[in-house]
Structure 1
Amino acid sequence: MHQLYACITEQHDLRFVAVAAIICALGTYSTFAIGRQVFREQAWQERLAWWATGVVTTSVAIWATHFVAMLAYEPSLEIGFSISLTGASLLVAVLLVGSGAGLVVARPTLPGRIFGGGLIGLAIGAMHYTGMSAYFVQGTLHWDVRTVVVSVVIGIVLGSLSMVVGFHPRRTVRRLAPLLLLAAVCGTHFIGMDALTISFDPSVAIPGGSMNTTILSLLTANAALLILGVSLIALRLWRLNKLRHEAESQRLRDLADIAVEGLLICAGDTITGINHSLERVLCLPREELIGAPLQRLLPDLTAADIPLSHELDAILLDAAGERVPVRVIAQSIVIKAKPHTVVAVRDQRERLRSEAEMHRLAHHDTLTGLANRRRFNEALAERFATRHGEDAFALLVLDLDRFKSVNDTSGHGMGDALLCRVARRLERATHADDLVVRLGGDEFAILKGGGTKLGEIQALAERVIDLLGRPFLIDGHVLNIGASVGIALAPSDGTTPEHLMGSADLALYGAKEDGRGRYRVFEDGMNARIQARRSLEMDLRRAIARQEFTLHYQPQVDARTGAYDGAEALIRWHHPERGVVSPVDFIPLAEETGLIGPLGEWVLRTACTDALTWPAHLTVAVNLSPVQFRDARLATTIRGILAETGLPGSRLEVEITEGSLLQDEQRTLAILRELRTLGIRISMDDFGTGYSSLSYLRRFPFDKIKIDQSFVRQTPEDKDSAAIVRAIAMLGTSLGLKTTAEGVETQAQSEFITDEGCDQLQGYLISRPVPLEAITALFASSPLALTA
C-alpha cells in the first residue's frame, strides 16, 4: 500500500491525477444515469440507442482516465504513444464494455449483473494493459506479474459489485454504484502502474510516427469534453425524468383520488399508495399504510392472488380491525419503469344492505312488515320439502270481520293503520318460530313453527280471535272488528301447498258461515258445502244474466180505514233445477260477492215499472241493502230509474236497516237527503232490533218506522212484546213518523196494534206476497183490504 501511495504521489503529477479522477467520476455517473434510461424505455430501438450511448460513454471514460493518468506519469524519460495501439485500446474497451452491458440488459438477474459487471471490470484491465503496450519510453518496461493480476482482479470484483449495487431496491444503496465503478477504474490503473518498473536504456529509441504528449493531450481533452457533454446530457435527462416521474406520480394520485372506489398501488405485496376513497373506508391516513404489506388490509391475499379479469370477494380490515366486505380486481401497470399492481377495492356494505332490503321488500309486506304471500309460498313449499314421514304442521288462515266497513266509512288511511295494529297483535299472539303472513287485503295466515297438538292450535286460534275482537283505539276512533279462522293440518288435510291452502280456505269459509268471530278445523264434508256455495254463486250470476228473478208484492193497509196504501216489493228466484231459492240464501251471497248492485238496480227498475199499473195513490216500497249505500252513485241511479220509468218520486218508498247507517253516516245521510229531494219516502226497517235506533231517528230524515215482526207476532199475549210495540207507536206519534207493523197474522194482533196507535199494517192477515197480476187484481177488486 505504501508503494502504491508513493507511486501516485511521487511519480505522478497530481493535477493530472485530479483531472483523470474527475473525468472518471463524470463517466461513471453518466454510465449509470444512461443505464437507468435503458430500462425506462419501452421501445427496443430507444433501448438500443441508449445502450450504445452508454457503452461508448463508459468506454471513452475508461480510456480517457487511463491516458490522462498516463500524462500525469513522470518517468523523467522521453516518451511517446503508438497510434494504432492507442486506438486498439479504445476498441478493446468498447467491445468488452458492450458485452458486459449487453449481458446486464439481456439478463436482468443477479447472475447476469455479476457476470456483466465482471466483463466491464475485465474491460478496464484489458484497456489499461493494451494502452500500456502503446506506451513508448527510452528504456525497458518490467512488470510485477502478481501486482498485475491483483489490478485485474480488483477491476473485475469492483465492476461486478457496482452492477449489483446499481440495481438495489434502495436508492441510498444505488448511489454507491458509480463510486464502486470509479474505484474499479482508478484501482486497476494505479495498482497496474505500481506493478511497472522502467529501466533507462539509451539504446532504445522512440519509434517514428509515435504520438507525443501534446497530441495525446488534445485527444484526451476531446474525450473529456465528450464525457462532460454526455454527463450534462445525463444530468438533464435525470432532471427531466425526475420531473416526469413526479408529474406521473401526481397524476396517478389525482386520478386515484377522483375515483369513487378505493384504489391500492402495490409494488409486489408492498403498498406504495392509496387514494382518498380507501382512506375514508379504512379511517386511516395513507402515511400509515405506505410501505406496509398488502396483507395488513387484505388478509390471506397476495397481489398475485387478485384476478385481472373478474372481481373477487374479499375481506378488508379497517382501522378498528372490523371486517369490511369488499370486492377486489387488479390491473398491472408500469410506474418508474417498474411493474406495479393497482388494486380496485369496492366497498360492498351498501350493496349488501340494499340487497338485504330488496330481499326484505320482496318477501315482506310493505305496510305491516309481515311476511308476504311470496315468502309464505316459499316457506310452505320448504316445509313440505323438508317434512319426513308423518311429520305434521298446522296452517291457520284468518280473515278480518267488518274490516271493509271500516275501510269504507273511515277511509283507507284508517284501514291501513288498523291492519298494522292487527299485525302487531298477531305477532304477540304467536311464538318466535311461527311465521305470520299478510296474504293480501284483510287476509292473514299463520304457519305454525312447531307443535301439532290440536289443543295447542285451537288455543292459538282462540287467542287470535280474542285479541282481534278487542277494540282498537286509533287517532281517537274506537274500531271494533273481529276475525274468523280456518285451520288445516298437514299432511292429513293436504299433501301439497295448494291442497293444504285450499283446505284452510274451506275451513275459513265454514267459520264465516257459522256466524264469524270463530274458528273451524277442516273437515272432509266442508268441501262439499263450499262447492255447493260456489255452485250457488255461479247460478246466481247466470240468473242475473238470464233474468230468472220475479217480484212478489205484499200489500200495506191503513190500520184505521183498512184501505190499501201500497205494497212492499219482495224478490223471488225460480231456479230451473233448484226450484224456488229463498232470499235468505242468495241475498247474503249477492252482498258478499258484489252482485247486489246489479240485482238491486233490477229490483228498483222492475218495481217502479210495475207500480205504474196500480192506482195512482198507491206506493211501492223497495228494500235497499247496506252494500248498495257504499256506491256513491246510488242516488243518481235511482233518479235515472224514476226518469226512465216515469214513476213519481212520491210513489216510491225505500226501506233501509241500521246496517246501512253503521257504515259512513255522513255519506249515507247525504244520499238520503238527495233521495228526499226527489220526493222519495225513507223508511227504517226492522226497528227495535238495533242498539242505537233512537239516535238515528233524530239525525236521519225518516218518514216511517217499521216495527219488526218478531215483536208483532208475540202480541198481545207477550207483555214485553206488547210494551215494545206500544212504545214504538207512541215514539212515532211523538216524532211525527208513520209506523207500520210487519207480520200481522191474526185479527187479535190487528186490533191490538190499531188500538196502540200504529198507522199501517202488513202481514198474512191481509195477504201473502203475490205476483204482479195478483196484486194488481187485488187492488182493483176492493179498495178496502180488511173487509175483503
Structure 2
Amino acid sequence: MLPFSADPDTSTPVVSYFMLPQRAIKKFALLSGLLFLITCAALFYIVCQQNSRQIEHSKVDVVKAMQNLQDKVGTVLKDYAFWGDAYRNTQQTINLDWAYARDNIGPSLFAQYNLEGVFIVTPDLQTRYALINGKISQQQAATWLTGDLKRLVKLAQARSAEDSYASDYFLINGDPAIVSAAVIRPDSSYTDYPHLSVLIYAFVLDADKLKSLDRDFDLHNLRLDTTTPGENLREPFITLSSSGGTPFSLRWDAEYPGNDLLKTIFPLLILLATLFCLAFNRLKARLYHAAKRLDAIQLSLTISEERLRHVIEGSSDWIWETNARQELIYLSDRFVCMTGYTAAEWLGKPFHQLINYDLDAFEKGAFDADSSHGMRKPLPCRLKNRIGLTRHCSLSVRAILSGHRVVGYRGTVCDITEEVEAKAHIEYLSLHDSLTGLANRSHMQNFLQASLGVMPEAKKMAVLSLDLDRFKPINDTLGHAAGDQVLNEIAARLKKCIRQCDLVARMGGDEFIILAIEPGTRQSTEKLCRRIIDAINATIVIGEHELSVGVSIGIAFCPENGTLANDLLRYSDIALYEAKSAGRNNWKFYVNEMNERILERRQIETDLRQALRRHEFFLEFQPRFELNGMRVAGAEALIRWNHPSRGLQSPANFISVAEETGLIVPISDWVMLSACREATQWEDDFIISVNLSPVEFYCGDLIARVSNVLQQTGIRPARVELEITESVMMEDAEQALVIMQGLKALGIRLSMDDFGTGYSSLSYLRLYPFDGLKIDRSFIANLDGSQSSQAIIQSVVGLGRAMSLTVTAEGVETSAQLDELLRVNCHQAQGYLLGKPMSVEALKTLMAMPAGRGTPGALSSPSASPSCPALHAQ
C-alpha cells in the first residue's frame, strides 16, 4: 500500500500510518515512558496549583462577600439619604412622627436590613437622631462607634457630589462593623454639603451574619479573629483595618482539592503504566488495524477541515447545511442560542420553512461564489424565533458539488436585527427633533416641497410660523431641564391642535412651524390660531412651579402669497415679526407691505451702524427746573440723528430698530459718555439725566459700562441720573433689583420714568432703590381743568416727599399747569413751557442766568412742537 492516499474531493495527499518503521515504534515507547514521568511531575505541580488557587479563590469570595455587604448597606443608605422627603423632615428639625412613628427611618431598618445602628448627625458630629437595634436612643454616635467618625463624615461630604457615600470598618463594643455615611440632600444640584446633616448606618459583623456569609459563599467555619495578625496566622485569612486603627482578621477552614485529585488520579496512573507495559507487545500485532483506522480518521478530519474552511469564509452567526433538496441535515450549536429552537426540531425539514428568502436568489447566490473567487453577496432574509419575534438576517450560501453534481448547500445565517433597527432609528432621528419628537427642519422642508410639488393650483396650504413668548425667563430662572419639559408639553399641545394631514415641526429653540393642508377660509385659519394660542396659554405645571407662556404666529398662504417653499417660509417669518411687534400672543397674515417695512428697517439698521462710525449722532439737552426759586437743576440728554440723505430723524423712527438689533448698547454708551463729558463743564451741582432702554438693561454688563463712563469722564457719580421705565422691573424683578443695587453702589442716582403708566408703581418705589420719580406727561396734560388729575398729582407729590424722592413733572406746556405744580410743592419740572430741547451752548446760557430770571420758554422756539417720547428723545 502506498504511504499516501488521495482525498477524492480535494486531491490533497494524506499520510498513512501503516508504513511506520519499527524504530519509530520503539521511539514511541521511550517517548511514552518519558511522557509518563512528565505527567507525574505535572500532576504534582497541578495539585499544588489547585490547592493554592482554591485558597486564593476563597479569599476572593470573602473579599467579595464583604464588598457585597458594604454595597448592600450603601444602597439602602443612598435610597434614604438622597430622598427628598428625608431632607425635608430632618434638615431643620427631626420629624419623629415621620421618621420613627411612620417608620420612614425607623425600626424596619433593623428588622429588615439588620442595621444595629442608625444615626443622623450634624457636620460637627452632634447626634440629632439615633436608633440602636431599632429603638430610639440618646446614645451619641461618636461614643457608640469606635473609630475616626470625623474622617468618615468628611469623606461622605466629598462623595456626595458623585452621588455616592463613604464606608469604613469601625469597632462597636469590640465587634467589627461596616459603617456607611451619606449626606442628606434635597437633590443632586444641591452642593452646600458642609451645612447638611449626615445619615449613618452601622452593620455589626456578629456570628450569625458570618454564618450567613459562610452559607452564601460556600465557606467553612468563617470567623473573626481580633488578635494582631502576623506570621502566626495560618492561611487562609484576610486582614481588615478598622477606622480606629485596630486590625482584625477573617479566617476560615481551607479546602485542598488538589489532594483529592492526587488521591484519585495517581493510582490510576500507576495502573495505566502497568497495563501499558503489558499491552505494548499486543499493540504491535494490532498496529495494522489501528493504522487503517487512523487513515480513515485522517480522511474524516480532512473533510471536516474543508467544511470548516468553507464556513470561515463567510461571516456567520450560525451554520447550516442541506441536501440537494434543500432539506436541513446540519445546524450548529449557535442556532439554538439565536432562535430558541432545537436542532432536532428542524433537521429533515425544508430550509425555506425556517428562513424566508428568495428561492431564485438563493440558487443564484449558491453558484456566484465560485465564479467570483469566493466573494459572496449575502441575501437578506427573515425568520421568526420560538417566541414569535421576527428577526432580520443575512444569509450566505454555497453549493456543495460532487464533480458537476450538486449534492447539497451550506452556509451561514447572521442576525442583523440590531443593525436594521439602528439604521431605521438613525433615519428617524435624521427627520425628527430629538427633544420633542416633532418633525425637524429637514423633514418639514421635504414635506413642504412634496406638498407643493403634487398640489393642484386649486388647493391651498397655510404656513404658520410660531415663536413662544416669555420662554427665555423659564430657561434663565428654572434651568434648561425645566425649559425642555415646557417644550415637550408645548409640542404635545400643538399636535392636538392640528389634523392628521397637517405637520408640526420644531425649527430649534422655541420656534415651530405648522403646515396646514387645505386650511379652508381665512376665518378657519384664524380659528386654528385661536386654538393654538388658547392651548399654549394654559398653565404648565413643572414641579412646584405654575408657568405661563404665550405664542406669536405669522401666516402665509399658498398660492396667494407664493408657491415656492423658501418664499412661504420667509413670508410667514415676516408676518411673525409683525405679530411680535404688535404686542405678542396674537397672529398676523402676511401682506406685501410687511416686506417693504422689513426692507426699510434693514436699511435703517445699516444706516445706524454707519452713523456710529461717521459721528452722525448729536445731543440736545432739555433743562429741568427746580420750582422752588425757578433755577436750572440739570438737564436731560436727548439723542438726535442727522441722516446725510434723509435729514433730521425722529428717535421714534430708529430707537426701536436699535433695540431689536442690539445697536442700542453702543448707542447708549455714546450717549452716556458724551452727556457726562459735557456735564463736567457745568457747575458741580447740575444733574445730567440719561434714559435707559429696557432692552439694554439686560443686554451686556450695564454696571461695568456705567462705571467705565464715570472713570473716563471723571464726573462726580451723584450728578449722574439714569431714568428707568417700569417695564424693566416687570421683565425680571429679581435681576432688576440686583442690577439697580449695583448701579447705586457706584454712587449714581436712579429715577423711575413715566410714573403712573404701569400696574405696580407703588410697590416698585417701596422695593427698589430709586432717588426720584418723573410723573408721566399724560397726567400733566389734563392738569388744567381736571380735578381728578390735580388730586393725582397732589397725591404723587405727597408720596414722593414721604419717601424722600425727588418728584419731577414732565410735559409742562401751560402756565396753568406750572401754577398747579407750584401749588402742590412739586420739586422739579420740565417741558416746552420751561425749555425745549436745545444745544449745549444754549443750555449753558440758560444755566448762567440768575435764579428766577430764566423765564419759562425763554430759550425755546415758539414754533416748535412736542416730539414723540422715546428713548433719549422728547
- Structure 1 length normalisation: TM-score? 0.67
Query: Which residue pairs with 1:284 in the alignment?
Result: 341
Sort the Cα spacing of 1:672 and 1:277 in 2 relative to 1 into closer, same or farther, 3 A: farther
Conservation of the 8 A alpha-carbon contact between 1:408 and 1:664: no
Matches of 1:385 and 1:665 in 2, distance apart?
51
Q: How far off its partner does 1:247 sit?
A: 9.2
Query: Which residue pairs with 2:395 in the alignment?
Result: 328
Conservation of the 8 A alpha-carbon contact between 2:459 and 2:518: no
Sort the Cα spacing of 1:329 and 1:757 in 2 relative to 1 into closer, same or farther, 3 A: farther
714, 739, 750: which is aligned to 1:682? Answer: 750
Sort the Cα spacing of 1:237 and 1:578 in 2 relative to 1 into closer, same or farther, 3 A: same
Query: Which residue pairs with 2:356 in the alignment?
Result: 299
Say if 2:718 is the partner of 1:650. Answer: yes
Matches of 1:230 and 1:304 in 2, distance apart?
46
Query: Structure 1 stretches of 5 or more lacking a match?
Result: 1-29, 51-226
Conservation of the 8 A alpha-carbon contact between 2:469 and 2:551: yes
Q: Helix, strand or coil for the counterpart of 1:662?
A: helix
Q: How far off its partner does 1:747 sit?
A: 1.9
Say if 2:478 is the partner of 1:510. Answer: no
Segment drifting more, 615-624 vs 278-287: 278-287
Q: How far off its partner does 1:666 sit?
A: 3.1
Query: Which residue pairs with 1:500 in the alignment?
Result: 568
**TM-superposition CA deviations, 1:632-660 (whole Å, max 9, x none):** 52111111111111111111111111222
Segment drifting more, 486-495 vs 404-413: 404-413
435, 444, 456: which is aligned to 2:524? Answer: 456
Cα RMSD (Å): 3.6
Query: Which residue pairs with 1:421 in the alignment?
Result: 489
Matches of 2:609 and 2:635 in 1, distance apart?
28
**TM-superposition CA deviations, 1:617-676 (whole Å, max 9, x none):** 111111111222223521111111111111111111111112221233333222221221
**TM-superposition CA deviations, 1:560-579 (whole Å, max 9, x none):** 22221111111112212222
Query: Which residue pairs with 1:465 in the alignment?
Result: 533
Query: Which residue pairs with 2:11 in the alignment?
Result: 43
Say if 2:294 is the partner of 1:236. Answer: yes
Matches of 1:246 and 1:553 in 2, distance apart?
103
Q: Counterpart amino acid of 1:43? A: S
Sort the Cα spacing of 1:780 and 1:489 in 2 relative to 1 into closer, same or farther, 3 A: same
Q: How far off its partner does 1:321 sit?
A: 4.7
Q: How far off its partner does 1:260 sit?
A: 7.8
Q: Counterpart amino acid of 1:780? A: A
Q: How far off its partner does 1:756 sit?
A: 2.4
Q: Counterpart amino acid of 2:294? A: R
Query: Structure 2 stretches of 5 or more lacking a match?
Result: 18-284, 370-375, 859-874
Q: Helix, strand or coil for the counterpart of 2:555?
A: strand
Query: Which residue pairs with 1:4 in the alignment?
Result: none
Q: How far off its partner does 1:45 sit?
A: 5.8
Query: Which residue pairs with 1:722 in the alignment?
Result: 790
Query: Which residue pairs with 2:655 in the alignment?
Result: 587
Say if 2:327 is the partner of 1:270. Answer: yes
Segment drifting more, 396-405 vs 695-704: 396-405
Q: Helix, strand or coil for the counterpart of 1:690?
A: coil
374, 377, 383: which is aligned to 1:316? Answer: 383
Q: Helix, strand or coil for the counterpart of 2:751?
A: strand
702, 714, 735: which is aligned to 2:803? Answer: 735
Q: How far off its partner does 1:41 sit?
A: 5.8
> What is the count of residue pairs matched by the alignment?
578
Conservation of the 8 A alpha-carbon contact between 1:409 and 1:663: no
Structure-to-structure mapping, 1:389-788, within 5 angstroms: 389-408=457-476, 411-631=479-699, 633-784=701-852, 785-786=854-855
Matches of 1:594 and 1:734 in 2, distance apart?
39
Conservation of the 8 A alpha-carbon contact between 1:429 and 1:464: yes
Q: Helix, strand or coil for the counterpart of 2:747?
A: coil
Matches of 1:260 and 1:666 in 2, distance apart?
66
Q: Helix, strand or coil for the counterpart of 2:731?
A: coil
Larger-gyration structure (1/2): 1
Conservation of the 8 A alpha-carbon contact between 2:320 and 2:412: yes
Sort the Cα spacing of 1:315 and 1:430 in 2 relative to 1 into closer, same or farther, 3 A: same
Matches of 2:636 and 2:407 in 1, distance apart?
100
Matches of 2:317 and 2:518 in 1, distance apart?
47
Q: Helix, strand or coil for the counterpart of 2:599?
A: helix
Q: Helix, strand or coil for the counterpart of 1:362?
A: helix
Sort the Cα spacing of 1:627 and 1:398 in 2 relative to 1 into closer, same or farther, 3 A: same
Q: Helix, strand or coil for the counterpart of 1:743?
A: coil
Matches of 2:290 and 2:433 in 1, distance apart?
78
Conservation of the 8 A alpha-carbon contact between 2:497 and 2:528: yes
Sort the Cα spacing of 1:374 and 1:553 in 2 relative to 1 into closer, same or farther, 3 A: same
Conservation of the 8 A alpha-carbon contact between 2:316 and 2:412: no
Query: Which residue pairs with 1:133 in the alignment?
Result: none
Matches of 1:45 and 1:353 in 2, distance apart?
49
More helix by share: 1
Q: Counterpart amino acid of 2:344? A: E
Matches of 2:455 and 2:394 in 1, distance apart?
38
Q: Counterpart amino acid of 1:557? A: F
Matches of 2:482 and 2:818 in 1, distance apart?
48
Q: Counterpart amino acid of 1:238? A: A
Say if 2:329 is the partner of 1:261. Answer: no
Matches of 2:823 and 2:332 in 1, distance apart?
102
Matches of 1:275 and 1:751 in 2, distance apart?
108
Structure-to-structure mapping, 1:61-460, within 5 angstroms: 233-241=291-299, 261-268=317-324, 269-275=326-332, 277-301=334-358, 304-306=363-365, 308=369, 309-331=376-398, 341-408=409-476, 411-460=479-528
Query: Which residue pairs with 2:114 in the alignment?
Result: none
Matches of 1:414 and 1:704 in 2, distance apart?
39
- Structure 2 length normalisation: TM-score? 0.61
